[in-house]
């Protein structure tokens, strides 16, 4: 899942990606200009790595 949200008039929009394992919730925030697919891929990699360790 990736969404962008602007808070305040002087802040830049961000991309939010969320991943979940049975123990952890991983949240990544990047500038909206960042490739959303890359952000999701990186979060998925982290989730897979943590899951592989048994968490």
**pLDDT at res. 10:** 60
Q: Please write the tens of the pLDDT for every residue from 1-55.
A: 445 555 555 667 777 888 888 888 888 888 878 787 888 888 888 889 888 888 7
The whole-angstrom separation of Cα 17 and Cα 19 is 7
Contact 43, 52 (CB under 8 A): no
Which residues make beta-bridge pairs with 27?
18
Q: Residue 31: its pLDDT value, please?
A: 80
Predicted local confidence at residue 6, as pLDDT: 54
pTM: 0.61
Three-class SS state of 41: helix
Give the burial class of 15: count Cβ atoms within 10 A of its Cβ; 0-12 exposed, 13-18 middle, 19 or more buried.
buried
């Amino acid at each position: 899942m990736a969404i962008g949200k602007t808070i305040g008039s002087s802040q830049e929009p961000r991309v939010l990606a969320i991943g979940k394992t049975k123990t952890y919730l991983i949240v990544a925030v990047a500038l909206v200009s960042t490739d959303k697919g890359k952000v999701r891929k990186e979060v998925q990699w982290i989730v897979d790595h943590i899951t592989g360790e048994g968490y």
